[in-house]
Amino acid sequence: MRKFYSLILVLLLASQALLAQNKGKLQGNVQSADGAPVEFVSILLKGTFKGTITNAAGNFEIGGLNPGSYTVVASFVGLNTNEQEILVEAGKTQTLDFVLTENSGDLQEILVSSSRESYNESRVSSSLRINAPLIEIPQNIQVVNRDILNDQQVISMSDGLVRNVSGAVRLEHWGDLYTNISARGSQVQALRNGFNVVNSYWGPLTEDMSFVERVEFVKGPAGFMISSGDGNGLYNVVTKKPTGQTQGEVSFTVGSFDLYRTALDLDGKLSKDGRLLYRFNVAGQQKKSHRPNEYNNRYSIAPVISYRVQPSTLVTFEYTYQRANMSDVGSFYVFSTDGFASLPRDFTSLPAGMPGTEIDDHSFLVNLQHDISPNWKLTAQASHMIYQQQGSSMWPGAVNADGTWTRAVSSWDALSKMSMAQVFLNGEFHTGGVRHKILSGIDMSNKAYWADWGQYHVLDAEDSPFDSSNPSLGYPSNGYPEFDYSTPIEGRAVAAGGTIDQTFSAFYLQDELAFLQDKLRLTLAGRYTDLSQAAWGGAPDQDSKFTPRVGVSASLTSSTSVYGLYDQAFTPQSGQLSNGEKVQPITGNSMELGLKKDFANGKWSTTLAAYRNIKRNELTADPNSPPSSNLSIELGEKTAEGIEFDLKGNILPGLNTIFNYAYTDSRVTQVTEGITDIEEGDIIPGYAKHVFNTWLGYTIQEGSLEGLGFSAGLTIQGGRETYWDPSPNPNEVLPTYTKLDAGVFWGRGNFKVNLNVFNLLDDYLYSGSYYTWLNAYYWQSEAPRNARLSVSYKF
């Protein structure tokens, strides 16, 4: 029998070799007019689905070609498209090189319109590891690029950016300290340049947009990116890198509530041969709030150096520093027993002299990219991040029915250290008529977090509580806190139980098989993760898990595809079960179906997706044990399902559009025996059932008013669920959230002016919840009608 199998294997290999001999191959190189290699040039065989993009050395290769004549098209934004004829012969490799010259007409159009033709993106960054066009990836992925960020005047990760992605919301705010984005029913993971930078349940610090090139949102489980985490998705912040072009931009922004901001972006060469490049971004701002005594002053510095060791090898060194001086982070919250929004929008309990919070955030990154061949690329990168915070958080000790509070302050010092490394390989080869696109890699991480919130100070004396109907924001009766910092944070955190440790290593392997001349694609993948985790002073829990991934994508036409996806999630958790058994990790699976279509040669695109995510074994407090016991039981099962629609791009000359809608329903579908306060069918808190967003920007294309434009944006969130406990009053729920923005802009040449007015209707906008242990409602209001004016100049 063994000989029989060996004979079959030999025959299969021989047949594959024979088929390969009947195929031809095309390879070549693309250069600019000055002889420099051009990366990301699209190489397409006209009238087929065959194509690829050039690597960093300008090289490309397309294999598995049937003998015959082909028209090869090389295209890149801002360069003249070039077509050449080639005859492919069986068993031979043909070489075809291109020289692309600048298209002055296209470049002038880009300058005049201030890059307002590029809301849509056809590919994700290399840090997401997927070397494929978005239309071919069997998953809903949305990209918010630099042009969108500029037009909407987004200055930080938490500054309204989520309006550009279907179903993404921020329901629980920490001001501009943390972003905490939710989608598909729960919080998504935060990544930067492909690294998972979550080290606590709150972080990371919101990125200043001065050093950000784009933000990529991946819906649903993403085993190709993260070893563990919720199966609802992730967002990946991609920082600016050198482009090889000598250019720069300076901008100034002023706005309501004493916003003053300036940013500088420099990009260029440090050597004449272009092998040594740099990018330098710096920004600073002063910013107050619509609530008294609040402020958020920040600055950031982000130098990047890239060195091309040889034509096929590029090394990049990057350092990012963010400094934040903020008022006490708990002051954003307002409490009342009378219901939501029962106090003025600008209400605060923050006394004028309350010490603030200071944060230093350091990030180091080194990235190595090596082109082994035109079809194989190796990427290795390592990152070390240090986050230091010294401050406090206000939170009431009690909220009374008569409107008085006992204000209290807890220390909130934190230290986070993360060391992470990744090595992954992208490649492509053919076996007969089947194209294989390989992604394989390992990633490792060691994360530690220490927090001291164990020091406590009551601001108000018992006989003189804070009165919300007649607030006094002067010196509190018990004075300001004087916390003890003599003991290092690591020791204070252990005493307070504020520690989190996580170490993992993981391996991932994926093969995308393409059939019928790349019209049908089957993705088979798997990830093995070994992880050790401890939280809040508990003993470490170790888990290992293999999670499979299967995806199918079919091109109905060159601009239309349908897809299906099955993936699994894996989230280890720490705790102590009442029955003494080992805590299981959160497991779950996700199923997704979708339709993607590009219009007008890719100027605008749409994605329609339907999904169902299931999570099992999530811990919850044991209702039969006192809270001080810290005992837990496993909840059972949660299910989130819904639909999403995204439209993005230039649908008419001069008209850029973002339009998205999401319907989400997240409920408990199984309850563990013994849980009495949760029932099957209960809604999971922390999301909005209906989320609608649109942003329109129109630029006059010609005439004396050329470059003048107008914009408008609308956000509606309906069926919002509170974040923590349900309201005891069924009539006291979060109302529908409606926000209207509008603006006017003008750009000519390198100069641009942009004015946006936010919350044009001046609505009282807020999010919040009910806290059972306080017997009170809390909410956090957003700013009333406000404006920003930006002036920028490119040189």
In the prediction, which pLDDT does 54 show? 84
Give me the residue spans of the domains in the chain: 2-102, 247-531+548-794
Are the C-beta atoms of 376 and 189 separated by less than 8 Å?
A: no
- CB contact set of 325 (below 8 Å; sequence gap of 6+): 295, 296, 297, 298, 356, 357, 358, 359
Alpha-carbon span 520 to 140, nearest angstrom: 18
Mean pLDDT over residues 737-757, rounded? 96
Angle at alpha carbon of residue 769, lines to 765 and 772, rounded to 5° = 155
- CB contact set of 608 (below 8 Å; sequence gap of 6+): 594, 595, 596, 643, 644, 645
3-class secondary-structure state, position 248: strand
The yes-or-no verdict on residue 20 having pLDDT over 80 is: no
3-class secondary-structure state, position 103: coil
In order, the DSSP letters of 269-316 are: ESSTTSSEEEEEEEEEEE-B-SSTT-BEEEEEEEEEEEEEEETTEEEE
Categorize the per-residue pLDDT at 409 as very low, low, confident or very high, splitting at 50, 70 and 90. very high
Pick the more confident residue, 212 or 221.
Answer: 212
In the prediction, which pLDDT does 52 show? 81
- CB contact set of 491 (below 8 Å; sequence gap of 6+): none
In order, the DSSP letters of 123-146 are: B--GGG---SBGGGSSS-EEEE-H
The DSSP letter of residue 353 is: T
In the prediction, which pLDDT does 574 show? 66
| CATH, domain range 247-531+548-794 | 2.40.170.20
pLDDT tens figures, 687-735: 899 999 999 999 999 899 999 999 999 999 999 987 777 788 888 999 9
In the prediction, which pLDDT does 436 show? 95
Q: In sequence order, what are the beta bridge partners of 283?
A: 263, 300
In the prediction, which pLDDT does 15 show? 46
Mark residue 575 as left, alpha or beta (left: phi above 0; alpha: psi -120 to 50; beta: remaining): left
Mean pLDDT, all residues of the chain: 88
Are the C-beta atoms of 597 and 559 separated by less than 8 Å?
A: yes
**Class of residue 436 by CB neighbours under 10 A (exposed 0-12, middle 13-18, buried 19+):** middle
Beta strands in 484-559 (DSSP E): 499-515, 520-535, 541-557
pLDDT tens figures, 270-305: 998 889 999 999 999 999 999 999 999 999 999 999
Mean pLDDT over residues 416-437, rounded? 94
How far apart are the two ends of the chain, measured CA to CA in Å? 73
Residues 67, 71, 75, 81: what is their CA dihedral angle, to the nearest 10 degrees? 160
The yes-or-no verdict on residue 3 having pLDDT over 70 is: no
Give the position of tokens 């579908």: 669
Categorize the per-residue pLDDT at 622 as very low, low, confident or very high, splitting at 50, 70 and 90. low
In the prediction, which pLDDT does 260 show? 98
Mean pLDDT over residues 46-66, rounded? 80
Q: CB 790: neighbour CB atoms within 10 A?
A: 21
In the prediction, which pLDDT does 691 show? 97
In the prediction, which pLDDT does 112 show? 31
Q: CB 29: neighbour CB atoms within 10 A?
A: 20
In the prediction, which pLDDT does 64 show? 81
Categorize the per-residue pLDDT at 5 as very low, low, confident or very high, splitting at 50, 70 and 90. very low
Mean pLDDT over residues 213-221, rounded? 93
- CB contact set of 226 (below 8 Å; sequence gap of 6+): 189, 191, 196, 234
The yes-or-no verdict on residue 180 having pLDDT over 90 is: no
Tokens of 638: 């949660």
Query: CA torsion sign, 745 to 211 to 261 to 173?
Result: positive
Q: Which CATH number fits domain 2-102: 3.10.300.10, 3.30.70.580, 2.60.40.740, 2.60.40.10?
A: 2.60.40.10
